[in-house]
Structure 1
Amino acid sequence: MQHTTVQGHLVMNLVASNELSFRIVVDLAYDPIDPYAVRFTFHLPGDEPVTWVFARELLLDGISRPAGEGDVHIHPVSGELSEVCIVLHSPDGDALLRASAAPLIAFLARTDRLVPMGQEITGGELDAELADILRGRENAG
């Protein structure tokens, strides 16, 4: 079985205040083994990279309208589809990031070609795969 992932890179602005922001490189990753999730790895100056994992559907929704509960909120800037704002809440503090929507849309399109939205593995398929794995262990042991 061929295993393919979708990866991308973009530059986002980490907003420190209305007057100050920092450009940071962000790696995007999508792995069909975890078909509902996307991974954002933020490369912060002078720190170890930080990875956040959240729902692919949340990213899609947040490009066109406010979306998210809990630790991740995404919304278009000024109601337009050209720029996206991502707010991350953690025990260490909050981060406000802004990015062009175009590379995010292109990344999501590539994930959709690999695993179409709404066609992620279902519970029944997962049960069948788990049964196959367990059968393989029984035969190996």
Structure 2
Amino acid sequence: MSTVIEQAVEARLIASAPRMPSIPATLRYDARDPYAVRMAFPAPATLEGVDVSWTFARDLLTAGVDRAAGDGDVRVRPYGYDRTVLEFHAPEGTAIVHVRTAALRRFLGRAAAAVPAGREHAHLDVDGDLAELLRDAC
């Protein structure tokens, strides 16, 4: 059985269109994909008017609550004493959101309780994943 952790957070949208002062977002961690976290945004908060989900490294989020981290499509850094900034870069534009650091730490603590950092490899099913990839190759 897989462990899935979901946590609702309030994100304050800083750069977006249409402009919304704050939006609900959902953080998700699945032990079957132990290195990743997902952050989902509802359709009204996106340029395309569809739900959008970003997947990025759990380590990136963990590092970013304490210091600037990331140099790709997702960047995370502390902001003030109680907020963390997440930047999402795409060809369509950049979205910048502030999330309460305490909410991120709570989520990361729950994820670490499910899969401790450094033990992610024990939760991978490499044989099963490889079999699924090769299933249609024959």
| TM-score class, shorter | 0.7 to 0.9
| Partner residue, 2:99 | 99
Q: Tell me by how many angstroms 1:3 deviates.
A: 1.8
SS of corresponding position for 1:74: strand
**TM-score calculated relative to the size of structure 1:** 0.80
| Partner residue, 1:53 | 55
Structure 2 residue runs of 5 or longer lacking an equivalent are 132-138
- 1:24 & 1:55 partners in 2: Cα distance? 22
Alignment deviations for residues 80-135 of structure 1 (CA, whole Å, 9 cap, x no partner): 3x11011111000001101110111000000000000111116xx858x518x86x
| Partner residue, 2:119 | 119
- The higher relative CO (CA closer than 8 Å, separation ≥ 6) is in 2
| Partner residue, 1:130 | 127
Change in Cα spacing, 1:126 to 1:99, as seen in structure 2 (3 Å) is: closer
Q: Tell me by how many angstroms 1:69 deviates.
A: 1.2
- 1:8 & 1:130 partners in 2: Cα distance? 30
**1:67 lines up with 2:83 in the alignment:** no
- 1:126 & 1:11 partners in 2: Cα distance? 31
Q: Tell me by how many angstroms 1:22 deviates.
A: 1.9
Letter in 2 for 1:130: D
- 2:44 & 2:124 partners in 1: Cα distance? 40
| Partner residue, 1:76 | 78
Q: Show structure 1 runs of 4+ deviating over 4 A.
A: none
SS of corresponding position for 1:58: helix
SS of corresponding position for 1:64: coil
Q: Tell me by how many angstroms 1:16 deviates.
A: 3.2
Alignment deviations for residues 36-56 of structure 1 (CA, whole Å, 9 cap, x no partner): 000000114272210000000
Structure 1 residue runs of 5 or longer lacking an equivalent are 135-141
The structure whose residues are more often helix, as a share, is 1
Pairwise CA RMSD of aligned residues? Answer: 2.3
| Partner residue, 1:139 | none
CA contact (8 A) 1:9 1:26 kept: yes
| Partner residue, 1:138 | none
CA contact (8 A) 2:14 2:97 kept: yes
**TM-score calculated relative to the size of structure 2:** 0.81
Matches within 5 A, 1:5-24: 5-16=4-15, 22-24=21-23
Change in Cα spacing, 1:21 to 1:114, as seen in structure 2 (3 Å) is: same
**1:40 lines up with 2:42 in the alignment:** no
| Partner residue, 2:136 | none
